[in-house]
Structure 1
Amino acid sequence: MIERYLIHYFLAVMDHGNFSRAAQQCRVSQPTLSVGIAKLESLVGHVLFHRTNRRVELTSAGAAFAVHARRIEAEFSRAAQAMAIEQPGKLVRIGLVSTLPGPWVEAATRAACSVAGERIEIVEGRMRDLMPRLERGRIDVALGVLDSTADEADMLFEEGYALAMAADHPLAAHATLDAEQVAAAEMIVRRNCEALPQVSRFFTRRGVRPFFAARTADDARAVAFVKAGLGITVMPRCFAQAGMAMPALAGFDQRRRVGLIADPAGRGRIQDSEGLRRFTHTIREFANQTAVPSR
Structure 2
Amino acid sequence: MDQVRAFIAVAEELHFGRAADRLRMTQPPLSRQIQRLEATIGVRLFERNNRRVDLTEAGKAFLVESRRLLGVATAAPEVARLVAAGSVGVLRIGFTAASAFGLMGAVLNRLSDVMPDVSVELREMVTRDQLTALDNREIDIAIARPVVDPEIYRSRLLTSEALVAAIPAEHPLTRRTRPLSADDLTNEDLIMHSPLDATYFYDMVVRLLPVSRWKYTHTVSQIVTMVGLVAAGRGIAIVPASASQLGFGAVRFAPLMTPEPQPVELHAIWRQDDRRPLVHRTLQELRPDALV
TM-score bin (small chain): 0.5 to 0.7
Please tell me whether residue 271 in structure 1 is matched to residue 270 in structure 2: no
Match of 1:196 in 2: 202
- Is the CA contact 2:167–2:230 (under 8 Å) kept in the aligned structure 1? yes
- Taking the TM superposition and a 5 Å limit, the aligned residue runs for 1:239-250 are 239-241=243-245, 243=249, 244-250=252-258
C-alpha RMSD over aligned residues: 4.1
- Taking the TM superposition and a 5 Å limit, the aligned residue runs for 1:159-170 are 159-170=161-172
1:181 paired residue among 171, 180, 184: 184
- Is the CA contact 2:101–2:243 (under 8 Å) kept in the aligned structure 1? no
**Whole-Å Cα distance in 2 between the matches of residues 107 and 253 of structure 1?**
22
Relative to the length of structure 2, the TM-score reads 0.52
Return 5+ residue gaps in structure 1 as ranges.
1-78, 84-88, 286-295
Match of 2:268 in 1: 260
Question: Which 4+ runs in 1 deviate beyond 6 A?
Answer: 148-153, 279-283
- Is the CA contact 2:95–2:124 (under 8 Å) kept in the aligned structure 1? yes
- Is the CA contact 1:91–1:120 (under 8 Å) kept in the aligned structure 2? yes
Query: What is the deviation of 1:94?
Result: 0.8
Query: Structure 1: which amino acid aligns with 2:273?
Result: A
**Whole-Å Cα distance in 2 between the matches of residues 253 and 209 of structure 1?**
22
- Taking the TM superposition and a 5 Å limit, the aligned residue runs for 1:14-29 are none
- Look at both structures and tell me which one has the larger radius of gyration over its CA atoms: 2
- Taking the TM superposition and a 5 Å limit, the aligned residue runs for 1:214-229 are 214-229=218-233
Return 5+ residue gaps in structure 2 as ranges.
1-74, 80-87
Query: Structure 2: which amino acid aligns with 1:226?
Result: V
**Whole-Å Cα distance in 2 between the matches of residues 102 and 123 of structure 1?**
15
Return closer, same or farther for 1:201/1:225 CA change in 2, 3 Å cut-off: same
Return closer, same or farther for 1:149/1:253 CA change in 2, 3 Å cut-off: farther
Query: What is the deviation of 1:171?
Result: 0.7
Query: What is the deviation of 1:179?
Result: 2.3
- Deviation track 1:90-143 (CA, whole Å, cap 9, x = no partner) reads 211112123324465467557767975433222322222222322342221111
Match of 2:98 in 1: 99
**Whole-Å Cα distance in 2 between the matches of residues 250 and 111 of structure 1?**
32
**Whole-Å Cα distance in 1 between the matches of residues 93 and 268 of structure 2?**
10
- Deviation track 1:219-269 (CA, whole Å, cap 9, x = no partner) reads 222222223433211112222346422221455767133221222432423
SS of the residue 2:163 aligns to: strand
Query: Structure 2: which amino acid aligns with 1:90?
Result: G
Query: What is the deviation of 1:184?
Result: 2.7
Match of 1:231 in 2: 235
* Identical positions, percent: 19
**Whole-Å Cα distance in 2 between the matches of residues 198 and 166 of structure 1?**
22
Return closer, same or farther for 1:177/1:129 CA change in 2, 3 Å cut-off: same
**Whole-Å Cα distance in 1 between the matches of residues 226 and 109 of structure 2?**
24
Return closer, same or farther for 1:168/1:250 CA change in 2, 3 Å cut-off: farther
- Is the CA contact 1:104–1:283 (under 8 Å) kept in the aligned structure 2? no
Range with bigger deviation, 182-191 or 263-272: 263-272
